[in-house]
Amino acid sequence: MSVLESIFQFPTPNTPDLGCFVRRKHEFQIDADVDFQNVHTEFNPSIDFSPRYHQIYFRVMCGEAAFFQRCLVYMTVNAQIPPPVLQNFPPDFVLGGDYTPRPSEWNRYPTQSGERFYWFFGQHRNPATSTWQADALVGHSYDIYENGTLSIVRYDDTGADRDFDDLVLEIAIVGRRSWGDLVQAENQAVVNRKIKRQGLPRLISLLKRRGK
């Protein structure tokens, strides 16, 4: 796995910079081809968004469960590793935990290039027991923005009421552009030399006068 994020290469704000809303691709739905009982999958590139570099953000938005709720988060470089195998490894992130749902701060992976798959395992635990159980159902809505996509992912813990409000996540994939891709102004070197020759001596002189 190649970790690309660097303060010298890419911007990395604390919240996803998606830009302006473009359209809703679909309302809330259960997608049997993508979501496996309690596992939601995000991937990039996709038919809707395929930047050269991308970064994924995720957080707990809310939840109305009486049970404790958590979500285990994994990243893989292909889709050939099935969820039963993934869950044998420590997750990269754990959203929620031994408490009823509450909003969280945004979490994020480093900026990535190439094909990536992100897996979100929804689980619940009755406070009276010590055993975590897989949530019964999951679905999501999907919005497209100028600089990415946003999924609202909803889990139903036991499946008894099918209200899909026990744990609700926001998952955003945003495009990234390296600072190294910026084309420099043609005459910037000339301006820099002028600043060094004329501007800096004046600034130093001003600072000395202020220090008196």
What value does the mean pLDDT take over residues 145-174?
94
Look at residue 186 and tell me if it is in a domain.
yes
* 157 and 206 inside one domain: no
Residue 14 tokens, joined = 């604390």
Same domain assignment for residues 167 and 212: no
* Confidence at 148, pLDDT banded by 50, 70, 90: very high
- CA–CA separation, 27 vs 97, rounded Å? 28
Comparing 42 with 210, the larger pLDDT belongs to: 42
The 10 Å CB-count burial string (b at 16+, else e) for 26-55 is eeeeeeeeebbebbbbbbbeeebbebebbb
| Each residue's pLDDT tens digit, 177-200 | 876 666 777 787 887 888 888 878
Residue 4 pLDDT grade (very low, low, confident, very high; cuts 50, 70, 90): low
How far is Cα 104 from Cα 174, in angstroms, rounded to an integer? Answer: 19
Q: Same domain, yes or no, for 175 and 117?
A: yes
pLDDT digits (tens, 9 = 90+) for 63-90: 999 999 999 999 999 888 888 888 889 9
Shared domain check, 98 and 38: yes
Q: How many separate domains does the chain show?
A: 2
Residues 202 and 153 in one domain: no
pLDDT band of residue 111 (cuts 50, 70, 90) is very high
Is it the case that residue 1 has pLDDT exceeding 50?
no
Residue 177: how many other CB atoms lie within 10 Å = 15
The range of the structural domain enclosing residue 84 comes to: 21-180
pLDDT at 178 (0 to 100): 77
Q: How does DSSP classify residue 180?
A: G
